[in-house]
């Protein structure tokens, strides 16, 4: 039974919850990934080349190595190696820079057991440091290629594989220059000026059905909130383009620059107070008593739960939170706040889904068959990777911790697959897939005893179909 579903039935519905929360980026606001990835990459390398003097070779188009880009890569920063892990830490696939490592090379570096020492702490905490970094969200993923190409460049200069690199700080500085929260107002860093020039080139508005569904949550008496790590000025702009000028009417309270996962993990609430927002700018006024109908900056889960109590009158209000990042939106609210979590996994859609739903107890005809949403071929082309394979499953020959079939495949065996089935209740490709369902629709959870992958709605990803 998953951590989030412990104590819950093997099905759940939105009507079961008192409070429903949403992330913004890649949840309410869907980005056009085929536009987003090259833009972020271009902005990062521009700083490295023009300001820090790195070779222009790293400024080649992202598309030249698009097969390297995939979700969930973990980096051994010191050695310049990238991994795809199984749930028990076995290195399923690896590369040095952009170059794949053979099985013999993996075992030469990491031993016959193909295990990296920092893995256990990574799995337990999802914390990053000077030697461990991972790329599990759509803003980070282009950075993996930046790092890998810099490894390639240093090796080329040395005429050999170095396995010791010192440029992580420069890459971190590039991310800071591009995404620092002041950059939106300043018009600096490259990314925000490009967004401002044509927002709808980069993002797409919510459908009318999603808007109606969001409104139905409040109309049914739910306390609905928004919580995003985006700064308020950028966040408000996204909301105006995705939901409209009346975006505030969809939520009872909105939290900006929440800096997840710290919003959940900081034990001392005085170190992360809520701050007031005026004219779409954070001010230094600390807010000790949150009120519905407003929006705030930063904050912590301890003070926020006081607002939930005030709004619901329940000391044990049931909270569901929906977001895209396993590191920020799924693991910490489940682990530290006992919230039920639902990830938005566009990989379900991009890798393809089985035709029929296995969520079959429901009476609504729309739940019986997958709702068809046409996927962007350019997005699939840039996200799918032959080098790294499926986000959900992989083939390995040893170290299996769960049953494998005769071909050597292990069902849902990747590290990120483990986080999904352990800390999520069910998963969606987009909000559009549920926007026409009634709020009492019963979703199978990942703990459902009658199905292997019942938590995927509306259908399981095709790479997992062989295990039904």
Catalytic residues: 23, 25
Task: Count Cα atoms within 13 angstroms, Cβ side, for 329.
Answer: 28
d(CA 28, CA 322): 9
Q: What are phi and psi of 363, to 5 degrees?
A: -85, -20
3-state SS assignment for residue 183: helix
73, 134 contact by CB (below 8 A): yes
What is the token pair recorded at 140? 């980070």
d(CA 378, CA 38): 12
End-to-end CA distance of the chain, in Å? Answer: 19
254, 226 contact by CB (below 8 A): yes
d(CA 29, CA 204): 7
Please report, for the chain, how many H helices and E strands are present, in that order.
16, 19
Block residue for tokens 């619901």: 312
Query: Would you list the DSSP string of 389-454?
Result: --SS-EE-SS--SS-B-TTSEETT-BHHHHHHHHH-S-BBS-GGGGTTS-TTPPEEPTT-TT-SST
d(CA 319, CA 301): 12
What is the token pair recorded at 8? 């819950």
Report in angstroms the alpha-carbon separations of 12 from 113, 424, 465. Answer: 40, 12, 23
Task: Count Cα atoms within 13 angstroms, Cβ side, for 58.
Answer: 30
389, 430 contact by CB (below 8 A): no
260, 329 contact by CB (below 8 A): yes
173, 47 contact by CB (below 8 A): yes
What is the token pair recorded at 112? 């016959």
Query: Would you list the DSSP string of 223-283?
Result: EEEEE-SS-HHHHHHHHHHHT-TTGGGG-SEEEES--TTHHHH-S-GGGS-EEEEETTEEE
Which residue, among 358, 344, 369, 363, has the nearest Cα to 432 in the 3D structure?
344
């Amino acid at each position: 039974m998953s951590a989030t579903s412990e104590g819950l039935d093997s099905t759940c519905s939105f009507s079961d919850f008192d409070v429903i929360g949403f992330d913004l980026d890649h949840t309410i606001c869907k980005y056009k990934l085929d536009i987003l990835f090259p833009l972020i990459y271009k902005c990062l390398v521009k700083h490295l080349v023009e300001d820090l003097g790195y070779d222009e070779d790293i400024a080649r188009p992202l598309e030249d190595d698009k097969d390297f880009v995939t979700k969930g890569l973990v980096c051994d920063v010191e050695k310049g190696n990238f991994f795809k892990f199984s749930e028990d830490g076995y290195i399923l696939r690896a590369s040095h820079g952009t170059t794949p490592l053979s099985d013999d090379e993996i075992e030469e570096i990491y031993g016959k057991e193909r295990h990296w020492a920092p893995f256990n702490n990574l799995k337990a905490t999802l914390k990053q440091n000077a030697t461990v970094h991972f790329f599990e969200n759509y803003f980070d993923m282009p950075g993996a290629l930046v790092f890998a190409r810099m490894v390639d460049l240093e090796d080329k200069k040395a005429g050999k594989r170095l396995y010791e690199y010192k440029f992580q700080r420069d890459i971190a500085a590039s991310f800071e220059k591009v995404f620092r929260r002041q950059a939106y107002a300043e018009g600096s860093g490259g990314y925000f000026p490009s967004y401002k020039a044509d927002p709808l080139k980069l993002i797409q508005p919510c459908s009318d059905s999603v808007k109606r569904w969001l409104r139905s949550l409040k109309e049914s008496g739910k306390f609905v909130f928004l919580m995003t790590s985006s700064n308020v000025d950028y966040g408000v702009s996204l909301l105006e383009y995705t939901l409209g000028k009346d975006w505030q009417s969809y939520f009872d309270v909105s939290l900006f620059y929440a800096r997840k996962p710290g919003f959940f993990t900081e034990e001392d609430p005085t170190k992360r107070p809520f701050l007031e927002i005026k004219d779409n700018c954070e001010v230094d006024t600390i807010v000790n008593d949150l009120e519905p109908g407003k929006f705030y900056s930063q904050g912590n889960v301890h003070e926020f739960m006081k607002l939930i109590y005030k709004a619901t009158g329940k000391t044990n209000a049931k909270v569901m939170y929906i977001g895209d990042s396993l590191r920020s939106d799924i693991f910490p609210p489940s682990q530290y706040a006992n919230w039920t979590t639902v990830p938005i996994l566009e990989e379900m859609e991009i890798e393809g889904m089985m035709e029929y739903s296995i969520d079959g107890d429901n009476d609504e005809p729309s739940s019986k068959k997958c709702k068809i949403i046409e996927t962007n071929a350019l997005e699939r082309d840039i996200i799918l990777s032959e080098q790294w394979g499926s986000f959900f499953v992989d083939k390995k020959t040893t170290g299996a911790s769960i049953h494998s079939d005769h071909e050597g495949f292990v069902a849902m065996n990747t590290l990120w697959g483990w986080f999904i089935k352990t800390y999520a209740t069910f998963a969606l490709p987009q909000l559009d897939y549920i926007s026409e369902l009634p709020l009492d629709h019963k979703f199978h959870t990942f703990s459902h005893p009658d199905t292997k992958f019942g938590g995927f709605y509306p259908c399981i990803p095709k790479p997992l179909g062989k295990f039904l």
